[in-house]
Amino acid sequence: MKLWDKGFTIDKKIEQFTVGNDREIDLYIAKYDIQASLAHAKMLKSINIISEEELLQLEEGLEELRLEIENKTFVIDSQFEDVHSKIEFELTKKYGDVGKKIHTARSRNDQVLTALHLYYKDNLLEIKESTKTFFETLLSLAETHKDQLLPGYTHLQVAMPSSFGLWFSAYAELLVDDVYILNAALKTIDQNPLGSAAGYGSSFPIDRTITTKEMGFATLKYNVVAAQLSRGKNERTISVTLGGLCNTLSRFAMDICLYMSQNFGFISFPDELTTGSSIMPHKKNPDVFELIRGKCNKIQALQTEMILITNNLPSGYHRDFQILKENMILAFEELKDILYIFEYAIKQIQITNIDLTDEKYQYLFTVDSINNLVVEGVSFREAYQKIGAVLIAGTYKSHMGNQHTHIGSMGNLCLEAIRGKWC
């Protein structure tokens, strides 16, 4: 069944190419098309396009299909182009002409757009909630390990003392910045496009405020042309949002891979969270974090794909939009898995007591040595030059007592202040 069927048979090769794998991908948005169809049916009843009895039939049929989707018994057979044609077919098969009325004042264009809006909104909220869980885990780790020193590096050279508390809470605070952008994307998506039809509205006296309320959107996409123009723009906005979050996660995963290596040896994980080598029995590999890094980098590339597919398309609908759906949806599903496994693993991190008497850390406290001279009344520039001269002469001695001074100088990690930034 095709919603646009006018009585001729399309070439099978053309059909296969144009449908692609929509049947598989549409299973992700099936429940949202049910939600939108139910709202649309209620609106049709309110303007007397269908009767109360017909509405009850449609509600019953849509609920049965919703349960099939929930129970994973819903299948889009090869005779259908997509989920939208499948749902209308099932309603028509059961209720006859009543099922055929569900498409009144609606186009497949705004059906797809509305289902995607609902999917994007739900999944952005789910990712926000998962990010909040990860955020709280990092703040908890920061509190637990706030007094444990961690050598800080610049240019991959030993630089100054830091702490595990600062490390964990740094990534927690970056997640707040990512959520600011996520909230902006949510506001963009939380607009009802249903009723824009093919992009130019409907001559029926539809009431779009009813469907807006029924589907839980914050507002309407008022201009029907703007609603269709949002296809592609939504995906670009979301891909930037997901990419920003993935940038934070990828960099954190890279730190973990680096700090687990024997050359650093700052952290470890239980054996069961790592993998081995088929030839080197001593290996304890951070594969999960390497995969997180790679998957996050792949998601960061998505915004380029979204831009190149949609850039410079004129107003109105174009079939190019169909190919936005697959990688956009798969990115959401991938990122949800990443957040889950990252949070699961990071809770089991093992912090190493780092031997700061190791020769490679002999210059870790040079800045503290300068600051001690400044406290004694020496100007900073003169103190810098004095310590620099000692370093050149090779007679610098690190005072390990400075580590306690340095921890104190970090002050409170402001974990509650960071927590308070979450919105």
Where residue 16 sits, what CATH number does that domain have? 1.10.275.10
Q: Are residues 342 and 388 in the same domain?
A: no
Place of tokens 């891909």: 239
Q: Which domain holds residue 97?
A: 12-104
Helices (H), 301-351: 302-310, 325-346
Residue 15 CA, distance from chain mean position: 33
151 located within any domain? no
Separation of alpha carbons 287 and 246, rounded Å: 17
Q: Are residues 256 and 377 in the same domain?
A: no
Q: Are residues 100 and 127 in the same domain?
A: no
Q: Are residues 295 and 268 in the same domain?
A: yes
2 located within any domain? no
Q: Are residues 337 and 412 in the same domain?
A: no
Characterize the bridge pairing of strands 219-220 and 191-192: parallel
154 located within any domain? no
Q: Are residues 181 and 295 in the same domain?
A: yes
Q: Are residues 185 and 83 in the same domain?
A: no
7 located within any domain? no
How many domains does one find in the chain?
3
Q: Are residues 223 and 300 in the same domain?
A: yes
Q: Are residues 198 and 296 in the same domain?
A: yes
Of 37, 72, 104, the last residue of a domain is: 104
Print pLDDT tens along the chain (423 aa).
545 455 556 667 776 776 667 788 999 999 999 999 999 999 999 999 999 999 999 999 999 999 999 999 999 988 888 899 999 999 999 999 999 999 999 999 999 999 999 999 999 999 999 999 999 999 999 999 998 999 999 999 999 999 999 999 999 999 999 999 999 999 999 999 999 999 999 999 999 999 999 999 999 999 999 999 999 999 999 999 999 999 999 999 999 999 999 999 999 999 998 886 668 777 788 899 999 999 999 999 999 999 999 998 999 889 888 899 999 999 999 999 999 999 999 999 999 999 988 999 999 999 999 999 999 999 999 999 999 999 999 999 876 555 555 554 454 678 889 999 998
Of 311, 334, 351, the last residue of a domain is: 351
Those residues whose C-beta lies under 8 Å from the C-beta of residue 384, and which sit 6 or more positions away, are 370
Cβ distance 82 to 19 under 8 Å? Answer: yes
Handedness of CA 289, 290, 292, 297 (dihedral sign): positive
Those residues whose C-beta lies under 8 Å from the C-beta of residue 28, and which sit 6 or more positions away, are 119, 329, 333
Separation of alpha carbons 187 and 124, rounded Å: 11
Q: Are residues 222 and 132 in the same domain?
A: yes
100 located within any domain? yes
Q: Are residues 128 and 177 in the same domain?
A: yes
Characterize the bridge pairing of strands 219-220 and 350-351: unpaired
Beta strands in 188-345 (DSSP E): 191-192, 219-220, 267-268
- Structure tokens of 152? 């800080």
227 located within any domain? yes
Q: What is the pLDDT of residues 313-358, one digit of tens each?
A: 999 889 888 899 999 999 999 999 999 999 999 999 999 999 988 9
4 located within any domain? no
Of 326, 351, 376, the last residue of a domain is: 351
Helices (H), 261-324: 287-300, 302-310
Where residue 200 sits, what CATH number does that domain have? 1.20.200.10
Q: Are residues 126 and 100 in the same domain?
A: no
Separation of alpha carbons 83 and 31, rounded Å: 10
Long-range contacts of 207-216 (CB under 8 A, 24+ apart): 207/43, 207/46, 207/47, 208/43, 210/39, 210/42, 210/43, 210/46, 211/36, 211/39, 211/40, 211/42, 211/43, 214/38, 214/39, 214/42, 214/43, 215/35, 215/36, 215/39, 215/114, 215/118
157 located within any domain? no
